[in-house]
């Protein structure tokens, strides 16, 4: 599955970069995130609950930041195990550019799923992935503009 997008965030690039690298901000903004812990400047572990169609799973995973060019770009790579539901892994290239007092965040992501998740159909998975991405960026934008994301 491939996905790309562009989001305009009402905050300066440095503030967006700092927030994208802050485990507490990510925990607030990632839908279904129960726990996230920074284990080094470029690695984190996370536990996220997601429901995709009839499958609800708790994923335990690892996140790694690669090709870091602060505050302009990085590649975020993650892999999660969801027990009997299967696994998900992927990477996204993220770039930040300044536009006045705002930041334009662009991403290109690639993901794979396996196990029970892979059997429920690519259209359902694609729709769920796009919904989670949209919720994350809505929550992220709201957080940077002083509004707390809604609880799960």
pLDDT at position 72:
97
The sign of the CA dihedral 54, 138, 152, 71 is positive
Instruction: Write out the two tokens for 92.
Output: 């996204």
Q: Which residues pair with 44 in a beta bridge?
A: 38, 63
Residue spans of the chain under pLDDT 50: 152
The burial class, CB within 10 Å (0-12 / 13-18 / 19+), for 103 is buried
Residues ≥6 apart with Cβ < 8 Å to 119: none
Domains and CATH numbers, the chain: 2-144 (3.30.530.20)
pLDDT at position 152:
47
Report field, pTM of the whole predicted structure over 0.85: yes
Instruction: Write out the two tokens for 57.
Output: 């799973």
What pLDDT digit, counting tens, does each position of 93-126 carry?
Answer: 999 999 998 999 999 988 888 888 778 777 788 8
- 124 touches 131 (CB < 8 A): no
């Amino acid at each position: 599955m491939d996905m790309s997008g562009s989001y305009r965030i009402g905050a300066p690039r440095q503030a967006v970069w700092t927030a994208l690298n802050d485990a507490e901000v990510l925990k607030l903004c990632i839908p279904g995130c129960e726990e996230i812990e920074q284990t080094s400047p470029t690695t984190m572990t996370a536990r996220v609950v997601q429901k995709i169609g009839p499958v609800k799973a708790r994923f335990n995973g690892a996140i790694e930041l690669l090709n870091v060019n602060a505050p302009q770009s990085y590649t975020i790579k993650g892999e999660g195990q969801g027990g009997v539901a299967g696994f998900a892994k992927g990477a996204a290239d993220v770039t930040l550019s300044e536009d006045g007092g705002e930041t334009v965040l662009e991403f290109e992501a690639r993901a794979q799923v396996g196990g029970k998740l892979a059997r429920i159909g690519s259209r359902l998975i694609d729709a769920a992935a796009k919904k989670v991405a949209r919720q994350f960026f809505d929550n992220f934008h709201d957080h940077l503009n002083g509004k707390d994301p809604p609880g799960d």
